[in-house]
A and B are shown apart, each in its own frame.
Chain A
Amino acid sequence: SQQGEEDPQALSIQEGENATMNCSYKTSINNLQWYRQNSGRGLVHLILIRSNEREKHSGRLRVTLDTSKKSSSLLITASRAADTASYFCATDDGATNKLIFGTGTLLAVQP
């Protein structure tokens, strides 16, 4: 079963534009993580935000977390063709030792 749902399911933008993906989840969390997956490859960890944090930055990535709304967003600024991939949010409830992944957003960056 999926804990999170990403929105939109698919997003197509031009190189240089910003891309925003949203994630909603259902239960209390200890932290929320974002991963990238290139087609058919393994997932790559991008960023982790803890439940007591509201915003975090890493390079061109900006993640926000609103625990009252049980939602998070991932912003990729100045996108590049190489950012084309699926992006997943994943939640860690801190109790069950397992990371539950959302449904993913497929991002296509057109050169």
Chain B
Amino acid sequence: DSGVTQTPKHLITATGQRVTLRCSPRSGDLSVYWYQQSLDQGLQFLIQYYNGEERAKGNILERFSAQQFPDLHSELNLSSLELGDSALYFCASSAGGGRGYGYTFGSGTRLTVV
């Protein structure tokens, strides 16, 4: 157990639907990062939050949004889902703003869009 909790572990949904992925960071970590991993794109950085505020944005689609709550857990919302959104979605956390620290990853949510 890495200390980063992601739920659900698996999600199967239809095209056009909306899902919410949840992440609880390791105790004491203020930064949360979201990554998408697919066979053709590899590990893609989506977005980072630090203590409730958005810090950095990557290749996140407009159909995707995220937030970090006062208790530091984070949610990634994916809407108008397409087949190509099928992937593993990872959440990671780190101490501080992320610079110079290793990340602790959760075990991921496997999203299948049918």
Chain A interface residues (CB < 8 Å from chain B)? 1-2, 30-31, 33, 35, 40-45, 48, 50, 88, 92, 94, 96-104
Residues of chain B within 8 A (CB-CB) of A100 are 45
Q: Give the number of residues in B that approach A within 8 Å (Cβ atoms).
A: 30
Tell me whether A97 and B103 are in contact (CB under 8 A).
no
Q: A42-B90, A92-B99 are in contact. Are A98 and B104 (CB under 8 A)?
A: no
Tell me if B98 is interfacial: C-beta within 8 Å of chain A.
yes
Q: Which 8 pairs from chain A and chain B are nearest by CB?
A: A45-B102, A42-B105, A101-B43, A97-B56, A43-B105, A42-B107, A98-B56, A97-B55
Tell me if B113 is interfacial: C-beta within 8 Å of chain A.
no
Question: How near does chain A come to B48, taking the closest CB pair, in angstroms?
Answer: 6
Chain B interface residues (CB < 8 Å from chain A)? 2, 4, 31, 33, 35, 42-43, 45, 48, 50, 55-56, 58-59, 88, 90, 92, 97-108, 110
Kindly report which residue of chain A lies nearest to residue B102, judged by CB atoms.
A45
Question: How near does chain A come to B1, taking the closest CB pair, in angstroms?
Answer: 10
Tell me whether B98 and A42 are in contact (CB under 8 A).
no
Q: A42-B107, A45-B102, A48-B102 are in contact. Are A99 and B2 (CB under 8 A)?
A: no
12 contacts between A and B (CB under 8 A): A1-B59, A43-B92, A45-B103, A50-B100, A92-B98, A92-B99, A97-B50, A97-B56, A97-B99, A99-B45, A100-B45, A104-B43
**Distance, CA A59 to CA B13, complexed state (A):** 43
Question: How near does chain A come to B16, taking the closest CB pair, in angstroms?
Answer: 26
Tell me whether B108 and A103 are in contact (CB under 8 A).
no
Residues of chain B within 8 A (CB-CB) of A2 are 42
Residues of chain B within 8 A (CB-CB) of A104 are 42-43
**Distance, CA A43 to CA B2, complexed state (A):** 10
| Residue in A44, A48, A88, A94 whose CB lies within 8 Å of B43 | A88
